[in-house]
Structure 1
């Protein structure tokens, strides 16, 4: 087949990238055109390498001190909505998975389903369809019908949230950002609500799953 599907693979674990490349190279209509081990490397690759699909983890080191790839992927999906993003992850928290879909991620493949589902996910997103692998679908279904969120986090709310889960107190964040503790506390609560997190235990679980801690 002359017109192969061009895929960029991004994951900070070399063994995962090797596994994905090996899997995709067994398919005649797919070609891996680039690999990245960090968000910065993925950003640079997207600037110089034309692709049809990005297959990426979200727990990679981020840009400008960010500790995961979510914010960068949000920017990619905003500026290039025609480029499908397939998230390959071990995350199983329903609120996180639903949040990814609401941000515009085209497909989510649990790494445990990679062999059976990744090719199907790539083919699906190129025809404009969404895709959830079995474990991802089961995780979302287990939580029942998700409650609507009150919008998407602002950059300020996300910054406060990431500073908080890194171990800083509300007061320390307020001093660092030159804002009142009341404002910081409100932004932190807003971020939790928009992520579907209700308790401090939920915050810790979320942070661990996406590589914030």
Structure 2
């Protein structure tokens, strides 16, 4: 966006206090211009028929047409408008839904002026902005997903071969020689084995192999 052009903003939130608070936070930021505000998704839709902002700042939890429905509508009818979600919900499922709807940003309502300005500026410049708190929530959810699904990760035949040789106290060099592969390939397989089994030591791997009947004792 041209540096001389003001970034036109529209706010959609069912709490007038939030709308007034955002406007107050950005009052001294001359690069922004508030051109519309709405206290419901439906009212936001009507506003968009007469004025088109660069960025819509939208809440998620609103009675009637909620934020996700509003985002979907905007993306279908006004694909050039960019969207920053401002929400009280630091919830991975909601954040994920917003990302799938291709909103350009997501920050929490406890954010300060500096982060709000940074988010709006980055989005106006064509980028995306998900706050650190939001990002960490997604990372935590991803780790939980990995832990819950680790047991479903299937060891390959080659990895089982390597586990059996490890239980026989073969070194990486000896495994490579036995299987006619490089030492680096063995190291890569061992990293994958550690990840899939959630085991970090040779003793732990031996126990895993016995417990899962990969070797006989």
Q: Give the corresponding residue for 1:186.
A: none
Indicate the residue corresponding to 1:95 in structure 2: 93
Is 1:19 the counterpart of 2:17? The answer is: no
Q: Could you state the TM-score of these two structures normalised by the residue count of structure 1?
A: 0.62
Q: Which runs of 4+ in 1 moved over 6 A?
A: none
Aligned partner of 1:5 in structure 2 is 7
User: Partners in 2 of 1:85 and 1:31 — Cα distance?
Assistant: 15
Whole-angstrom CA distance in 2 between matches of 1:79 and 1:54: 13
The equivalent residue for 2:51 is 49
Q: Give 1:115 shift.
A: 2.3
Larger Rg: 2
> What is the deviation of 1:84?
0.5
Between the aligned partners of 1:132 and 1:85, the Cα distance in structure 2 is 12
Give the one of 116, 134, 137 matched to 1:136: 134
1:137-185 Cα distance to aligned partner (Å, 9 max, x none): 22112212697xxxxxxxxxxxxxxxxxxxxxxxxxxxxxxxxxxxxxx
Secondary structure at the aligned position of 1:48 is classed as coil
Q: 1:82 aligns with which of 77, 80, 83?
A: 80
Aligned length: 143
In 1: Cα distance, 2:76 partner to 2:143 partner? 26
Choose between structure 1 and 2 for higher RCO, CA contacts under 8 A separated by at least 6 residues. 1
In structure 2, distance between residues paired with 1:146 and 1:130: 25
Q: Structure 1: 5+ residue runs without aligned partners?
A: 148-213
Q: Aligned-pair RMSD on alpha carbons?
A: 1.8
2:129 pairs with 1:127:
no
Deviation, structure 1 residue 25: 1.8
Question: Tell me, which stretches of 5 or more residues in structure 2 are unaligned?
Answer: 146-217
Is the 1:121–1:131 Cα contact (8 Å) retained in structure 2?
yes
Residue pair 2:26, 2:113 contacting (<8 A) in 1 also: no
